[in-house]
């Protein structure tokens, strides 16, 4: 082979192997989805004379989906949610009842502003995001529990770090970590005493770690 042609052949092969990278542009829409591991700390508190404990999430692998609309080549809005995850709510009430009193189903919705950190020449596109979340709590009280237990829906902050790796101009690998702040008011109607007992500002903040795919529409 002519030695003068070797650089041309090498450049052609490199272009075939390297992923095609295209910058995000204003108006692009990105759909992300995957499996998310959700975790939070165990919480112990009191509702009047009722000793209570919120356990770590059970069934903590959930499906998570996110939709991003790019405002420019570097900034976008993302709306995300996941399938509901669960906490067990245990109580110890004056030796009359001890054990699981309710299941708390948690469904968060997050809205963040994202900033993309690298230029268009890099197939790895890391991003950070900050915003707000609305968390809906659905409490299912056990039939054996005398008290009716409730949790208040909350607003809180969200911080996010993620990255896309471009497999093609449209298809990407995605990974993201999200911290969601949530402090809810928990309450119980104590039928024995005929009063409402309440604990304010119980933190059920959680981390979500997602891995999956993303697809860009432009």
Q: Which residue has the higher pLDDT, 99 or 152?
A: 152
pLDDT at residue number 41: 87
Contacts of 46 (CB under 8 A, 6+ apart): 52, 199
**In the beta sheet, which residues pair with residue 211?**
35, 175
Summarize the confidence of residues 110-134 as an average pLDDT: 93
Distance of alpha carbon 95 from alpha carbon 117, whole angstroms: 56
Please, which pLDDT band fits residue 5 given cuts at 50, 70 and 90?
low
Are the beta carbons of 201 and 151 closer than 8 angstroms? no
Q: Which of 29-43, 64-78, 119-133, 142-156 has the lowest mean pLDDT?
A: 142-156
pLDDT at residue number 146: 65
Please, which pLDDT band fits residue 17 given cuts at 50, 70 and 90?
very low
CA nearest to 138, candidates 199, 184, 207, 190: 184
pTM, two decimal places: 0.81
The pLDDT tens digits of the residues spanning 49-84 come to 778 888 888 768 999 999 999 999 899 999 999 999
**In the beta sheet, which residues pair with residue 129?**
114, 160
pLDDT at residue number 186: 86
Contacts of 95 (CB under 8 A, 6+ apart): none
Where are the chain's structural domains?
Answer: 25-217
Q: Which residue has the tokens 């992300």?
A: 32
User: What is the rounded average pLDDT for all residues in the chain?
Assistant: 84
Q: Name the CATH code of domain 25-217 (choices 2.40.160.20, 3.40.190.170, 3.10.20.30, 3.40.390.10).
A: 2.40.160.20
Distance of alpha carbon 209 from alpha carbon 81, whole angstroms: 13
Helix (H) or strand (E) holding 78: strand 75-82
Q: Which of 1-10, 17-26, 128-137, 193-202 has the lowest mean pLDDT?
A: 1-10
Dihedral, 122, 126, 128, 133 alpha carbons, nearest 10: 130
The pLDDT tens digits of the residues spanning 27-39 come to 999 999 999 999 9
Please, which pLDDT band fits residue 14 given cuts at 50, 70 and 90?
very low
pLDDT at residue number 39: 92
């Amino acid at each position: 082979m002519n030695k003068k042609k070797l650089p041309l052949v090498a450049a052609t092969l490199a272009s075939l192997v390297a992923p095609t990278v295209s910058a995000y542009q204003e108006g692009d829409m990105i759909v992300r989805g995957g499996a998310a591991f959700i975790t939070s700390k165990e919480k112990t508190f009191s509702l009047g004379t009722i000793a209570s404990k919120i356990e770590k999430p059970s069934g903590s692998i959930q499906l998570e989906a996110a939709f991003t609309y790019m405002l420019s080549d570097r900034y976008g809005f993302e709306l995300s949610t996941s399938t509901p995850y669960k906490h067990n709510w245990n109580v110890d009430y004056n030796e009359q009842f001890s054990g699981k009193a309710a299941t708390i189903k948690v469904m968060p919705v997050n809205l963040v502003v994202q900033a993309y950190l690298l230029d268009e020449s890099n197939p790895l596109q890391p991003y950070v995001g900050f915003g707000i979340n609305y968390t809906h709590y659905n409490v299912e009280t056990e039939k054996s529990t005398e008290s009716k237990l409730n949790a208040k829906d909350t607003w809180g902050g969200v911080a996010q770090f993620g990255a896309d790796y471009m497999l093609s101009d449209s298809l990407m690998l995605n990974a993201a970590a999200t911290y969601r702040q949530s402090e809810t008011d928990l309450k119980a109607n104590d039928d024995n005493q005929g009063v409402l007992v309440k604990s304010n500002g119980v933190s059920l903040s959680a981390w979500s770690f997602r891995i999956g795919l993303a697809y860009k529409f432009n």
